[in-house]
Amino acid sequence: MGKKSKQQSGISNQVISSIVNDVFAKNGINPSEIKISEEKRKEIKAMVSNLNKQVKAFVDGENKKMKKSKN
C-alpha cells in the first residue's frame, strides 16, 4: 500500500471511529460493554470492507476526472 493510500485509510478510520463514537454517545452506549456475536462481527467487517472499496473506486474516479480536466 502506498503512502497516500495509508494516509487515506488512516483518515477513513478516524472518520468512522468518530462517527461511531458520536452515535454511541448520543444513545448512551458504552463501547466496552457491547457484546457482538462472531457472525455479526464478520458481517460488519464485510460491510466496512465493501464500503472501503466503494470509496476507493469513487476517489480513483474523481482523481482520473481531475487529471483529464488538467490536460
Cα separation, 69 vs 50, whole angstroms:
29
**Residue 8: what pLDDT?**
60
Give, as one character, the DSSP assignment of residue 31.
Answer: G
Question: pLDDT tens-digit profile of 40-50?
Answer: 989 988 998 88
**Residue 67: what pLDDT?**
84
Cα 23 to Cα 1, 10, 28: the distances in Å are 31, 20, 9
**Residue 49: what pLDDT?**
85
**What's the average model confidence in pLDDT over 20-28?**
90
